Amino acid sequence: MEHESFTITGYDPERVVQDGNRFLLANGYLGIRGTVEEADRSSLPAVTLAGVYDQYQDRWREPVNAPIGLFAKLILNGKVMGLGNAEAHSHVFSIDYRNAVLTRETDFGPVVFRSERIASLAEPHLLTASLTLSFNTDGEAVLLTGISTDLWDINGPHLFDFHNTTGEILLCESITGEKKIPVAVTQSVSYEHSAEEMFQITGEGVFRRIGFTVKAGEKITFSIFSAVYTGLDVQEPAKQAERLCAISKAAGYSECKRAHITEWENIWKQCRIDLGGNEDAALALMASQFYLNSIAPRHADNLSIPARGLSGQTYKGAVFWDSEIFLLPMFLYTQPQIAASLLRYRIDTLPGARKKAKEYGYRGAFYAWESQEGGTEGCTNFNVVDVFTHRPVRTYFRDKQIHISGDIAYALWEYYRVTGDRLLLEQGGAEVILECARFYLSRASARLDCDAIDYADVIGPDEYHERVRNNAFTNQMVRFCMENALRLKEVFSDKPEQFEALLDRLDYRTDWELLVKALGRIRRPNIRHGVIEQFDGYFDLEDCRLETVRSRLVNPREYWGGDHGVAGTTQIIKQADVIALLALFPENYSDEDVAANWMYYEPRTEHGSSLSACMYALTACRIGREELAWKYFCDTASIDLRGGGKQWAGDIYIGGTHPAANGGAWMIAVLGFAGLSVSNGSIELRPHLPVQIKRLQFPITQGNKHYLITVTHEGWKTEEL
């Protein structure tokens, strides 16, 4: 169908980086950027591995990019038939979202180079491609194909001690610099045409030169199989990579593709939203669901998703609060086992959070703002580079954005609330909530002469205002975390000894008493004419228009936040903050509250983060302003198709796909437009369908049951599947 695939025709070197994101294929284990087979480093090709990090010298830690086993370059009669080398009469990149297949077709004149590529969902260590070369001339051809080690890294290099082996299977072994993790990539090729093979090992990889004679009108097909394993996956990654390469080749490209498509069919059955009435929006939503599903960890049960997915090394490949607040809902309502994986990642990285709390002189669990493996904090003290001095700027995301622990506790509670399943709480989730609450106890500032407890010197979701006091969002997350910590006793009321044993093990008796006392004392936000003050003193800041603030920029790449930024001393905010609070705690606020805050904050929001629009859309639905919600929905759903979003923060590249916006698009469609809510196992719908949508249909999972929900302007129905 038209709105299940996305095609771009023509070649534009300016668009290569953006297209790398748009045509990304991923399977949760790895992501392969959408670059052509013959791409060199300048096109930023990458096979980015999930959960494998490395630090080079004193640079930022980031995910490791593996050698690229799908490299292929055609030389025809001595001339390279590649983009940038030969003139292309036409060039088409097309991604089929339903089947997760990327197709490329370039007409160089003497030859049409067509490829199909998958990152197998059936076998996450496998990349495979099928090349079909249609010749319009006679001649001698060479296909140079193999494993390229000419890798793009933002803060690399990360792989060392390359050891290359040739044969039917090419093998490229290396190890990471910091933790000495072995990385093995294999490649083999099958084809039927008679040819002569030679091998080549250079500084840029290990290759086979397949030489063959062609005639005009001939069409020759090559199937390429490449397997990737690291020492984190298996004991002997090289052996496993060779094995997988061999069996995949034996099975053949078509069989690999069939198994892959079957898996994707299964995913779509679980979560596909069918949006009727607007082709563009339907395509954008499909794309959005595709990008998010493709990076979901399905091969492991305790992995989360980085803020830019598997589209490269942006944001250090780290896991942010995006996972809990923006990605979790879709999985929670459609594929709870993946939601559980995201949360198990947090449970398993509790030691890292404890370590971070201790580092700052606190107790309990202070989760990493940018979490890497084991909960290691990837966020540095300097996250922005000043455009005037080119000096790094001290930012406070790492040390002051304390709502992260509460976000995780919130998500654990959501999992329990929506699925009704206590298992995650039993398997460490309760401990996480208790430890987050303990962190907040120790992070509190109490006054000696009055009752209120402040949370001073924090950063809320709106990062432009650093080091504020009593951010309303943060204080509510703290309160909710503490409430749920205390509520756990009820949750485990059937196993009181077990829960008491947990409290004993955590030496939590005194803290429990402190929690009981502290809870009611946490500062409530100031409210003026129904508008919640984002933090103490926010209303006293300069109240000016977004355009005024923008006009003060001296350099368009300037960072807006902090005391030096144009927004920092005004009421202009980066993203939904109070509005996020309203969206996440809908039952705490009346429709009038939501309306008053929406009207106040919306014109003061720059939407400098892809996390913003979704919260505005959800709350717009709530107050019956579907036309406003629609605009934010379109922004959110189409972000990766458009190639939108900020590309730069100061001097630093921050491009990539936007999983949080992808998750946000699902949230708007299902929780906003359809108005789905689940409480004690019963499903409620309060639709707010924009006029642009005629019909919305989607499956959800509730416990062991699966439902198909249909919403139109006339009404709605829920069918059990």
Q: Helical H runs in 360-471?
A: 397-400, 403-419, 423-424, 430-443
Number of CB atoms found within 10 A of residue 543's CB: 12
308, two tokens: 């830019």
**Rounded distance, CA 576 to CA 609, Å?**
9
- 702 binds a copy of itself per the rule CB under 8 A: no
Residue 52 structure tokens: 């494998």
Shortest gap between Cβ of 343 and a copy of itself (angstroms)?
A: 27
Q: Does 525 bind a copy of itself (CB under 8 A)?
A: no
Q: Does 617 bind a copy of itself (CB under 8 A)?
A: no
Is residue 48 within 8 Å of 65, Cβ to Cβ?
yes
When binding is defined by CB under 8 A, the residue of 32, 433, 518, 700 that contacts a copy of itself is 518
Strands 392-394 and 382-385: antiparallel
Q: Closest separation between CB of residue 448 and a copy of itself, Å?
A: 5
Instruction: Give the residue, chosen from 19, 54, 233, 454, that forms a contact with a copy of itself under the rule CB under 8 A.
Output: 454
Binding region for a copy of itself (CB under 8 A) out of 24-32, 209-217, 323-331, 448-456: 448-456
Write the CB contacts of 362 (distance below 8 Å, at least 6 apart in sequence).
Answer: 439, 442, 443
92, 300, 514, 652: residue in contact with a copy of itself (rule CB under 8 A): 514
* SS3 category, 276: strand
Mutual orientation of helices 472-491 and 403-419 as an angle, nearest 10°? 40
Binders in 132-151 for a copy of itself, by CB under 8 A: none
Give the whole-angstrom CA distance, residue 111 versus residue 606: 49
285 touches a copy of itself by CB under 8 A: no
510 belongs to the binding site for a copy of itself (CB under 8 A): yes
Decide if 513 is catalytic.
Answer: no
**Among candidate residues 545, 701, 130, 699, the one with its CA nearest the CA of residue 709:** 699
User: Which of 107, 500, 536, 651: binder of a copy of itself (CB under 8 A)?
Assistant: 536
Q: Rule CB under 8 A: is residue 453 a binding residue for a copy of itself?
A: yes
Candidate list 69, 231, 568, 655; residue touching a copy of itself; CB under 8 A: 568
* Token pair 């990008």 in the structure block, residue: 291
Token pair recorded at residue 126: 């496998």
Minimum distance between the CB of residue 58 and a copy of itself, rounded to whole angstroms? 12
By CB atoms closer than 10 A (0-12, 13-18, 19+), residue 113 is buried
Of 128 and 395, which CB lies nearer to a copy of itself in the complex structure?
Answer: 395
* Positions in 378-397 near a copy of itself (CB under 8 A): 381-382, 386, 388-389, 391, 393-395
Burial class (CB in 10 A: 0-12, 13-18, 19+), 710: middle
Binding of residue 57 to a copy of itself (CB under 8 A):
no
Q: Which is nearer to a copy of itself, 516 or 721 (CB)?
A: 516
Binding mask 467-506 for a copy of itself (x = CB under 8 A): x---------------------------------------
H helix or E strand, kind and range, residue 285:
helix 279-294
Catalytic residue among 463, 466, 558, 606: 463
Question: Which listed range, 4-12, 22-30, 249-257, 560-568, lies at the site for a copy of itself (CB under 8 A)?
Answer: 560-568
Q: Is residue 276 a contact partner of residue 703, using CB atoms and an 8 Å limit?
A: no
Taking Cα atoms as reference points, which of 288, 272, 307, 289 lies closest to residue 640? 288
Residue 567 is classified by DSSP as: T
Among 137, 221, 376, 442, binds a copy of itself (CB under 8 A): 442
Which of 132, 427, 569, 702 binds a copy of itself (CB under 8 A)? It is 569
Binding residues for a copy of itself (CB under 8 A): 361, 363, 381-382, 386, 388-389, 391, 393-395, 441-442, 444-450, 453-454, 456-457, 467, 510-511, 514, 518, 536, 552, 554, 558, 562-564, 566, 568-569
